[in-house]
Chains A and B, each alone.
Chain A
């Protein structure tokens, strides 16, 4: 049972380069989320999705785009990476039940030089 997987696990980019992070879940969850984690700031929501084909902005959406073409996948894109986007990125999914927890992927460590 894979749960939530993220690809890649590590990446180094140069300023201005683009990349896409892939998140996949096999739990048939409706909701999916992208967070970034920076030291001392906990997890901050970038974008989220409540279903296939729908996305919405979170707390820190600038510089990122997302797509959810299939229910099980949620992609996070950086069109022109900046050093301020150096962070650890977590994907998570949850069911629509309000009492259910989120299930997290293992994280992607991104460094932008």
Chain B
């Protein structure tokens, strides 16, 4: 069975600073993808970034980067230069390469302080 753990229920960060949101996962699948989503207070789910288990480089998308440590089974999201609009729930998710289902973590609520 697959499982995603996000140990930080809530995080605070000062505007313009960087923040790391933790994600660890457990899977027996040899190949998988890791995804991060943002859910602002308006409720929609927004895809942020993807990392494949065989990707050699850590994924980056603008101010988002993924600190992927395969041996430790962690896929932490790094947000650089935080903005007030980054305040939201953030979910880590995993999908095996040869499966169709996504497994989500419980989420981390990020609050950016002015």
Q: Is the interface of A mostly helix, strand, loop or mixed?
A: strand
Q: How far is the CB of B50 from chain A (nearest CB, A)?
A: 6
- The number of chain B residues with a CB under 8 A from chain A is 24
Interface string of A64-102 (1 = CB under 8 A from B): 000000000000000000000000101010101011011
Cross-chain contact B104 with A101 (CB below 8 angstroms): no
A45 contacts B45, C-beta separation under 8 Å:
no
State the Cβ distance, A59 to closest chain B Cβ, in Å. 9
Q: How long is the Cα–Cα vector from A92 to B96 in the complex, in angstroms?
A: 17
- Give the complex CA separation of A107 and B33 in angstroms: 24
Q: Are A98 and B106 in contact (CB under 8 A)?
A: no
Q: Judging by beta carbons under 8 Å apart, are A42 and B52 in contact?
A: no
Q: Which of B31, B44, B95, B107 contacts A42 (CB 8 A)?
A: B107
Q: Which of chain A's residues have a CB closer than 8 A to the CB of B44?
A: 104, 106-107
Interface assignment of A50: CB less than 8 Å from any CB of chain B? yes
Q: Compute how far the CA of A106 lies from the CA of B9 in the bound complex, rounded to whole angstroms.
A: 23
The answer to whether B95 and A43 have CB atoms under 8 Å apart is: no
Which of these, B91, B98, B100, B104, contacts A50 with CB under 8 Å? B100
- Whether a CB of chain A sits under 8 angstroms from the CB of B102 is yes
Question: Chain A residue with minimal CB distance to B44?
Answer: A106
Judged by a CB distance under 8 angstroms, whether B97 is at the interface is: yes
Q: Is B43 part of the binding interface, using a Cβ–Cβ cutoff of 8 Å?
A: yes
**Knowing A41-B106, A42-B107, A43-B91 touch, does A104 contact B101 (C-beta < 8 A)?**
no
Excluding A42-B4, A98-B99, 4 further A-B contacts by CB distance (< 8 Å) are A33-B101, A42-B104, A50-B100, A99-B50
